[in-house]
Structure 1
Amino acid sequence: MTRELPTRDSSSPSSLRVLSCNILAGGQVKRYREYVTQSWKHVLPTGKRANLNDLADVLCDFDLVALQEADFGSLRSGFLNQTEYLAENAGFPYWSHQPNRRVAKVAASSNGLLSRIKPAEVLDYPLPGRIRGRGVLFARYGSGKHSLVVLVAHLSLGPQARAHQLGYITELLEGHPHALLVGDLNTPIESPELRALFARTSLQPPENPPATFPSWAPNRAIDHIFASSSLRVDDLRTLPQLVSDHLPIAATIHLPATLRMEQSASNAGTE
C-alpha cells in the first residue's frame, strides 16, 4: 500500500540520507531481562506513541526511512498504523507499508518505507520460508536502467531460511544496476548467505559495519544498508536508541548523475 500526502516543488537529488530501523512496534528494551520482566509492554500500547514521537523528530533529517516491525493496527499499537503515523509526524509526503504477519488482534507487523521522493512503483513480495510472515518491500524511483530500486527486508533468524530469502532477493535485483538493500537482515556480513549475495549481485559489503544489536550494548552488526557498486556510501553509522532493541543505522548515499528522481522540496502538509 502506498499513500501520498501534499507536496510543493520537486527536484532531482544528488544524494540521499537513508535510515533503517527495526522499531519493535514502538516498544523499547534496555536489557535482556526486560524481555521477561516487561513482557506485558509488548502486547499493550503503553508508552509507544511517545516513543514514536521522539523517533519522528529524528526522522525529519532523512530522505528515505526503512522500517521493520512497524505495527499496522493491533492491540499493542493502540490500533495505530505506525508507518502512517511516523510519515505524518516527520513530514514525509510518501509512505508505503507491507503487512506481513498478524497474530489475532494482538500484533500486526509490517515493513515500511517513508520517502521524500515519489516512487514510480511499489511492490510487495512475500519471502520464502517454512513459517509465513516475512516479506520484502520493493520501491522503484525513476525508470529503466536509470532507476534506483530500494528493497526493505526483515529476514528470518535461521541461516537456511535466510539463504533462501536472500536467493529470492538476488533474483529481484537482476537488471537493476542501481540498488539499495536495507533492513534487519539478522546476520553479519561475514555469514555464508551474505557472502553469496555479494558474489551474485553488485551490492557491496561495508568495510566497517557498525554493531546494531542489542541496542544497550551493541556487539552484532545485523542491520544493514547495502548499496550497489554504482552508488557511493558515506557516513555509515548508528544513531542513539529511541525505540526497539536495535539501533537505527544511517548512511548518505551518493547517486550517479544519470539517475533522475523527483524529490519533495518541503515537508508534507505545508499547503
Structure 2
Amino acid sequence: MRFLLYNISYGAGVGRDLHFPFPYAGHLKRTGRNLNRIVSFIKSVEPDIVGLVEVDSGSFRSQKNNQAELIAEELDLCHVFESKYGENSVAHKVPVLNKQGNAVLMNQRISSRKFHYFSKGIKRLVIEVELKDLSLFLVHLSLKFRHRQYQLQELFQMIESADKPVIVAGDFNLFEGENEAALFLAATGLKSANRAGWASYPSTAPRKQLDYIFYSPEIRTRNFYIPPVRLSDHAPLIWDFDISDAPDHINSPSVRQRAA
C-alpha cells in the first residue's frame, strides 16, 4: 500500500504566490490554480491512503469548495474531513479560520471514524479512521512546546485503545526534532518511516523535519521518500508499506534518497 502525507497549506502555494505583495498574502488569495497542481501531483503517485493537513473546506479562497472533496472526486477516493478547531474554540467562530481542517482520503471502505480534540492548544483535532487492517490517526500538533507535550500524552492514550496496527501521521511541529517525541515513541513502540531523518520544511530548501509518519511493528516499510515538490511550504512524504505478522526491522526496507 502507498500512503501520502501532505500539508498542502490550504493550496496557498510557495514563493511569489505565497508572499506577494506582502508576506503570506497567498493565504488571502484564491487557490484554485495551485490546487489543480496539487491534485495532478497526488494523482501521479497513485496513493491508496492520503493524509492532508491544512485543508480549506469552503472559504472565499477556495470559492466555497471543500478542497478535500474536490481532490477525492478527482482521484475517485472516499474522504473524511473535519475542522481542526473544536466547536467551543474562538477560532471556530472566525471566518476563514472556521473552514480550516484536515482530511483523510482512501480507496477502501471505512470501518469507523472518530474525531478527537486535545485539551490543550489551538490546533486540537485528531482524525481517527479505522480500515480493514489498520487504524490511522492524523494530527496537526501545536506550535507551543508545552502544549505539544500534553497533546502527545493524550495521543498515546488514544492509540492504546486501538486493536489493530496503527499509523500516526501528520504535521507534528517538532521544532527540536524527533527527540521531542522520544517518550511518546518509547511508550507506544511506534517507529518512524523516515529513518534517515530527511527534512520536509520548507519545501524550497528543507531544513526541519516537521512532518512524520509513525507506525506499529506489525507494519513493514517497503520504501520511503520525499519528492522535491514545491506546491506548498511543506514537501510531501510518500511511504510504501504492507502488514505482516513479522515485526519490521531497521535495515529491511528499500529506501530511496530524497531527490535534489
- Structure 1 length-normalised TM: 0.80
1:65-80 matches, within 5 Å, as: 65-80=50-65
Evaluate the alpha carbon distance shift between residue 30 and residue 256 of structure 1 in structure 2; reply closer, same or farther with a 3 A threshold. same
1:96-111 matches, within 5 Å, as: 96-101=80-85, 102=92, 104-107=94-97, 108-111=99-102
Question: What displacement does 1:234 show?
Answer: 2.7
SS at match of 1:37: coil
Q: 1:256 aligns with which of 232, 244, 250?
A: 244
Question: What displacement does 1:134 show?
Answer: 2.1
SS at match of 1:125: strand
2:69 — aligned with what?
Answer: 84
Q: 2:159 aligns with which of 167, 173, 187?
A: 173
C-alpha RMSD of matched pairs (Å): 2.3
Question: What displacement does 1:184 show?
Answer: 0.6
Number of equivalenced pairs:
235
2:226 — aligned with what?
Answer: 238
SS at match of 1:218: coil
Are residue 49 (structure 1) and residue 32 (structure 2) matched?
Answer: yes
Deviates more, 1:185-194 or 1:246-255: 185-194
1:121·1:139 contact (CA, 8 Å) conserved in 2? Answer: yes
Q: Percent identity?
A: 26
* Structure 1: distance between partners of 2:189 and 2:63: 41
Are residue 59 (structure 1) and residue 47 (structure 2) matched?
Answer: no
* Structure 1: distance between partners of 2:238 and 2:74: 19
1:24·1:243 contact (CA, 8 Å) conserved in 2? Answer: no
SS at match of 1:52: helix
* Structure 2: distance between partners of 1:53 and 1:257: 40
* Structure 2: distance between partners of 1:125 and 1:219: 31
* Structure 1: distance between partners of 2:241 and 2:21: 39
- Structure 2 length-normalised TM: 0.83
* Structure 1: distance between partners of 2:145 and 2:36: 35
2:19·2:25 contact (CA, 8 Å) conserved in 1? Answer: no
**Structure with greater strand share of residues:** 1
* Structure 1: distance between partners of 2:228 and 2:180: 29
Evaluate the alpha carbon distance shift between residue 242 and residue 84 of structure 1 in structure 2; reply closer, same or farther with a 3 A threshold. farther
